[in-house]
């Protein structure tokens, strides 16, 4: 996916992304407001040992951060928390473990004991109590160690003193007997060693007593915990910001996912890009409160301009070879193809072209309803049956459609050569009628046959359409039945079905002019351009007749019908 495609998706789905963005922020904000506030208080403790039985070992411990980390771990140990929990009825060690944390301060002899609780006072009290309990238990442990060491030192001192007394007595006895001086010298050397050892034990005992006296300063509370008025949880600004970011991320992700999974065609641009057919016009969704303007819109109504554009574009397509016949069809019933065909015929007639509109949809005919014609009015089915007789009937009515001879040959002469003695001018008269619009005639469907598909595929139907194409009108518009099985609703049409429909039309040999997007939702920034509309079009006037619309979002595709010797091709509204 390119950056341009991503940008188009974001522009298309910006409302959905904005909705996810707002829902994420509002949801986290509301959830944070509903959460019970939790307060945190912290006690700061300094670890310092000034003396001990082995000054070098203590110095090594103090020079490292291990002692601070050890004391921090002991602060959350079970012995400390058990004693603290016993001070508060209803408080258990398991609950206290989840509320207490101890963190060493890097490169210092400090560590903090933090307690979270719904009550700020309780949090501060527990933090101070844990610190006090930790110091007390450490002092007790140190006192026990010093007492044991003092006892051991005193025992060594007593034993050394006893040995000194015994050695001194032996030396005195030997001196009195005046025996060998060598033995006396050995005893005197032993006595000197015992006296030195005795002095060392005495010095160690003195240091131990001094350390015991100063052991109360090994840990000190440098900053007691105090109740705070600001809760540590929930952090509403942080949570709301995070919710907004998560909502934005999910919105973009879901928008991309929806775009990938969405197989429908939503806009005229997507339809043109998918089928490689030009969009001849865009028919806007009609206001249900103004249904009287559905057929034959006039003036500066948006759809009046749209039908003028459609008529003009069809005219441009027939510059070299004028377009004389158009089939309008759709993918499914109820997509508005009949409305498109009726309005296209009206605007062709307003432009001064003799136009004949034939309703070939024998399942759901609509032209008699759109033009307020009697339902029992003779039409297509009657004309097909008449052509199927051995000799077509001759109408007693005067001709209503005539065309001057071209190159000395009249349309009647051509048809007589092709169809025998059929005169299309008089033959079609009983089956067509005027609708109060100059230059426009309509052939309704007539009575509906029980087998519409076979009826339309008959040779008589093909012959009738050929007769109508050469009867002298300048524009023949056929309201054809839908291509059953293909979805072309702009809200329901799938890309795969549209591709299948394009393949079907291509196989039929139909000349596809392009697409007309029907019932497109008009946006505020969609402007209607009157600049290129000729003055004659702006002064058009026509009858406004009310009509009911199919409840779908149709799409129309005008296309040129084949010549009189070929069957009609299909076109769709996309």
Domain boundaries, the chain: 36-223, 268-395+409-573
Position with higher pLDDT, 238 vs 568:
238
**What tokens appear for 82 in the block?**
């058990």
pLDDT value, residue 16: 92
**Average confidence (pLDDT) over 321-326:** 80
**CB of 271 within 8 A of CB of 498?**
yes
**What tokens appear for 56 in the block?**
């070098």
pLDDT band at 393 (very low <50, low <70, confident <90, very high): very low
Position with higher pLDDT, 328 vs 511:
328
Whether the per-residue pLDDT at 490 is higher than 80: the answer is no
Q: What is the mean pLDDT of the chain?
A: 76
Position with higher pLDDT, 355 vs 546:
355
Give the pLDDT confidence of 267-303 residue by residue, as tens digits. Answer: 777 777 777 777 777 777 766 545 567 777 777 777 8
Question: Cα–Cα distances in Å, from 60 out to 52, 149, 219?
Answer: 12, 20, 17
Whether the per-residue pLDDT at 4 is higher than 50: the answer is yes
Give the pLDDT confidence of 523-542 residue by residue, as tens digits. Answer: 655 555 544 444 444 445 44
Task: Provide CATH code, domain 36-223.
Answer: 3.30.1890
**Is the fold of 36-223 the same as that of 268-395+409-573?**
no
Position with higher pLDDT, 424 vs 82:
82
Interatomic CA distance for residues 85 and 133, integer angstroms? 11
Whether the per-residue pLDDT at 484 is higher than 80: the answer is no
**CA neighbor of 341 nearest in space, from 449, 465, 486, 442:** 442
Whether the per-residue pLDDT at 423 is higher than 90: the answer is no
Using a CB cutoff of 8 Å and minimum separation of 24, what contacts does 382-386 make?
Answer: 382/430, 382/431, 382/446, 382/447, 383/427, 383/428, 383/431, 383/443, 383/446, 383/464, 384/455, 384/458, 384/460, 384/461, 384/464, 385/460, 386/427, 386/431
Whether the per-residue pLDDT at 102 is higher than 90: the answer is yes
Q: What is the pTM of this model?
A: 0.53
Whether the per-residue pLDDT at 557 is higher than 50: the answer is no
**Average confidence (pLDDT) over 562-568:** 33
pLDDT value, residue 119: 92
**Average confidence (pLDDT) over 398-415:** 42
**Terminal-residue alpha carbon distance, the chain:** 26
Interatomic CA distance for residues 55 and 58, integer angstroms? 5
Whether the per-residue pLDDT at 190 is higher than 80: the answer is yes
Percent of the chain with pLDDT over 90: 20
pLDDT band at 49 (very low <50, low <70, confident <90, very high): low
pLDDT value, residue 519: 75
Where does 178-217 have alpha helices with state H?
A: 181-214
Segment among 414-423, 497-506, 515-524, 549-558 with least mean pLDDT: 549-558
CA angle 533/552/342 to nearest 5° reads 45
Number of Cβ within 10 Å of residue 194's Cβ equals 20
Question: Which neighbouring-strand residues pair with 220?
Answer: 46
**CA neighbor of 126 nearest in space, from 100, 89, 164:** 100
Eight-state DSSP code of residue 523: P
pLDDT value, residue 526: 57
At the top level of CATH, which class does the domain 268-395+409-573 belong to?
alpha beta
Whether the per-residue pLDDT at 412 is higher than 50: the answer is no
Interatomic CA distance for residues 296 and 442, integer angstroms? 14
Position with higher pLDDT, 196 vs 427:
196
SS3 117: strand
Whether the per-residue pLDDT at 52 is higher than 90: the answer is no
**CA neighbor of 75 nearest in space, from 143, 142, 138, 139:** 138
Segment among 93-102, 379-388, 481-490, 565-574 with least mean pLDDT: 565-574
Which residues, 6+ apart, have CB-to-CB distance to 146 below 8 Å?
208, 211, 212, 215
**CA neighbor of 45 nearest in space, from 124, 120, 132:** 132
């Amino acid at each position: 996916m390119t950056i341009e495609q991503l940008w188009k998706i974001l522009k298309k789905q910006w409302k959905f992304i904005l909705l996810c963005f707002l829902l994420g922020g509002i949801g986290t904000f509301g959830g944070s407001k509903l959460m019970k506030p939790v307060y945190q208080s912290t006690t700061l403790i300094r670890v310092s040992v000034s003396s001990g039985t082995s000054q070098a070992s203590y110095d090594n411990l103090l020079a490292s951060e291990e002692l601070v980390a050890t004391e921090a771990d002991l602060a959350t140990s079970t012995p400390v928390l058990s004693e603290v929990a016993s001070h508060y009825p209803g408080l258990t060690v398991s609950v206290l473990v989840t509320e207490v944390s101890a963190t060493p301060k890097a490169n210092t002899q400090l560590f903090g004991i933090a307690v979270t609780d719904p009550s700020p006072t309780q949090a501060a009290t527990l933090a101070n109590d844990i610190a006090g309990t930790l110091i007390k238990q450490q002092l007790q442990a140190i006192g026990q160690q010093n007492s044991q060491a003092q006892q051991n030192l005193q025992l060594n001192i007593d034993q050394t003193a006893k040995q000194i007394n015994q050695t001194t007595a032996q030396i005195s006895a030997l001196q009195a007997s005046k025996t060998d001086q060598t033995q006396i010298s050995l005893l005197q050397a032993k006595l000197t060693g015992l006296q030195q050892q005795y002095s060392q034990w005495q010095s160690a005992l003195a240091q131990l007593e001094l350390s015991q006296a100063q052991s109360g300063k090994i840990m000190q509370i440098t900053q007691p915990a105090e109740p705070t008025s600001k809760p540590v949880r929930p952090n509403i600004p942080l949570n709301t910001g995070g919710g907004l970011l998560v909502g934005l991320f999910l919105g973009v992700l879901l928008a991309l996912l929806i775009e990938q999974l969405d197989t429908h065609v939503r806009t005229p641009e997507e339809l043109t890009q998918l089928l490689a057919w030009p969009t001849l016009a865009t028919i806007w969704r009609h206001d249900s409160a103004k249904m009287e303007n559905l057929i034959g819109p006039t003036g500066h109504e948006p759809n009046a301009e749209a039908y003028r554009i459609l008529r003009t574009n069809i005219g441009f397509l027939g510059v070299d070879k004028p377009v004389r016949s158009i089939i309008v069809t759709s993918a499914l019933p109820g997509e508005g193809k009949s409305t498109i065909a009726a309005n296209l015929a009206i605007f062709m007639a307003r432009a001064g072209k003799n136009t004949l509109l034939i309703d070939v949809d024998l399942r759901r005919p609509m032209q008699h309803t759109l033009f307020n014609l009697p339902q029992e009015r003779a039409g297509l089915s009657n004309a097909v049956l008449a052509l199927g007789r051995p000799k077509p009937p001759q109408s007693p009515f005067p001709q209503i459609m005539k065309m001057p001879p071209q190159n000395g040959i009249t349309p009647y002469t051509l048809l007589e050569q092709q169809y025998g003695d059929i005169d299309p001018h008089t033959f079609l008269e009983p089956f067509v009628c005027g609708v109060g619009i100059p230059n426009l005639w309509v052939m309704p469907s007539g009575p509906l046959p029980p087998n519409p598909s076979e009826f339309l595929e008959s040779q008589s139907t093909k012959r009738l359409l050929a007769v109508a194409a050469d009867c002298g009108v300048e524009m023949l518009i056929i309201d054809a039945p839908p291509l059953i099985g293909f979805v072309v609703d702009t809200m329901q049409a799938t890309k795969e079905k549209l591709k299948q429909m394009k393949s079907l039309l291509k196989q039929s040999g139909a000349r596809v002019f392009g697409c007309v997007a029907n019932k497109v939702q008009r946006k505020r920034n969609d402007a209607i351009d009157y600049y290129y509309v000729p003055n004659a079009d702006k002064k058009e006037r026509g009858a406004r007749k009310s009509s009911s619309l199919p409840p779908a979002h149709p799409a129309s595709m005008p296309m040129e019908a084949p010549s009189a010797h070929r069957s009609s091709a299909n076109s769709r509204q996309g």
